[in-house]
Amino acid sequence: DFVARTTWADIPERVREHARLVLLDTFGVMLAGSRRPEVAALVHAFGSESASGATVYASGWRRHDPRTAALLNGIAGRAIELC
């Protein structure tokens, strides 16, 4: 209920700015990780399921079902982060 009723304006500016930086950093790490040979091979192995669903942020920005896209994006995000 709290989350559903909270608006963007209710969130302090400092928290919004930090969230923006974390989001951009995470996206950048996913894009960089997607270029790792092992991640690119995995993305290629899964192919592209459909034109709808969710985006896999790898070379070519493929569309896939949300579960597979989350898996592949998560692997790409972890491929270089903290390694």
Residue 83 in this model has a pLDDT that exceeds 70: no
pLDDT band, residue 21 (cuts 50/70/90): very high
Total length of the chain: 83
Contact 57, 45 (CB under 8 A): no
What percentage of the chain has pLDDT greater than the value 70? Answer: 93
What is the distance between the alpha carbons of residues 30 and 17, in angstroms, rounded to a whole number? Answer: 20
Residue 55 in this model has a pLDDT that exceeds 70: yes
Stated pTM of the model: 0.75
Task: Determine whether 20 is exposed, middle or buried from the number of CB atoms within 10 Å of its CB (0-12, 13-18, 19+).
Answer: exposed
Per-residue pLDDT tens over the stretch 56-68: 888 778 888 888 8
Per-residue pLDDT tens over the stretch 69-78: 899 999 999 9
What is the distance between the alpha carbons of residues 8 and 12, in angstroms, rounded to a whole number? Answer: 9
